[in-house]
Amino acid sequence: MSSNTSGSSKPFAATRRGFLRAATCAAGASALAGVAIPAVHAAETNVIKIALVGCGGRGTGAADNALSTTGGPIQLVALADVFQDRVEASRKRLAAMHGAKLDLPPERCFDGFDGYRKAIDAVAPGGVVLLATPPAFRPIHFEYATEKGCHVFMEKSFAVDAPGVRRVLKAGEAADRKNLKVAGGLMSRHYTPLEEAVRQIHDGRIGEVLTCWAYREHGPVGFSPKTPDLSELAHQIRNYSCFTWLNGSFLLDWLIHNLDVCCWVKNAWPVSAQGQGGRQTRDLPDQLFDHYAVEYRFPDGTRLVAQGRHMAGCWDFFGDVIQGTNGSAILGEGVPQPKLYRGYRQRREDIVWRYQGPACNPYLREHELLFDAIRQDKPYNEAQRCAKAAMTGILGRMAVESGREVQWDAAMNSSVELAPDLEKIASLAAAPPVRPQPDGRYPIAIPGVSRTF
Which domain covers residue 263, as residue numbers?
208-359+403-415
In a domain, 10, yes or no: no
Spatial separation of the C-alpha atoms in residues 434 and 356, rounded to whole Å: 49
Question: Looking at the structure, do residues 158 and 252 belong to the same domain, yes or no?
Answer: no
Question: Looking at the structure, do residues 274 and 385 belong to the same domain, yes or no?
Answer: no
In a domain, 105, yes or no: yes
In a domain, 318, yes or no: yes
Spatial separation of the C-alpha atoms in residues 390 and 306, rounded to whole Å: 14
301: domain CATH number is 3.30.360.10
48: domain CATH number is 3.40.50.720
H or E element in which residue 394 lies: helix 383-402
**Long-range pairs of 301-305 with CB within 8 A, sequence gap ≥ 24:** 302/209, 302/210, 302/211, 302/212, 302/266, 303/211, 303/212, 304/211, 304/212, 304/213, 304/214, 304/259, 304/262, 304/263, 304/266, 304/270, 305/211, 305/212, 305/213, 305/214
Question: Looking at the structure, do residues 132 and 251 belong to the same domain, yes or no?
Answer: no
pTM of the model: 0.91
Question: Looking at the structure, do residues 91 and 129 belong to the same domain, yes or no?
Answer: yes
Question: Looking at the structure, do residues 317 and 290 belong to the same domain, yes or no?
Answer: yes
Question: Looking at the structure, do residues 370 and 339 belong to the same domain, yes or no?
Answer: no
In a domain, 200, yes or no: no
In a domain, 448, yes or no: no
In a domain, 441, yes or no: no
Question: Looking at the structure, do residues 217 and 148 belong to the same domain, yes or no?
Answer: no
Question: Looking at the structure, do residues 117 and 245 belong to the same domain, yes or no?
Answer: no
In a domain, 303, yes or no: yes
Query: Cα 422 to the chain's mean position, in Å?
Result: 20
Q: What is the pLDDT along the chain (453 residues), one digit of tens a residue?
A: 433 333 444 454 444 443 343 333 433 333 333 333 333 333 345 899 999 999 999 999 999 999 999 999 999 999 999 999 999 999 999 999 999 999 999 999 999 999 999 999 999 999 999 999 999 999 999 999 999 999 999 999 999 999 999 999 999 999 999 999 999 999 999 999 999 999 999 999 999 999 999 999 999 999 999 999 999 999 999 999 999 999 999 999 999 999 999 999 999 999 999 999 999 999 999 999 999 999 999 999 999 999 999 999 999 999 999 999 999 999 999 999 999 999 999 999 999 999 999 999 999 999 999 999 999 999 999 999 999 999 999 999 999 999 999 999 999 999 999 999 999 999 999 999 999 999 999 999 999 999 999
Q: How many domains does the chain have?
A: 2
Question: Looking at the structure, do residues 174 and 304 belong to the same domain, yes or no?
Answer: no
Question: Looking at the structure, do residues 58 and 74 belong to the same domain, yes or no?
Answer: yes
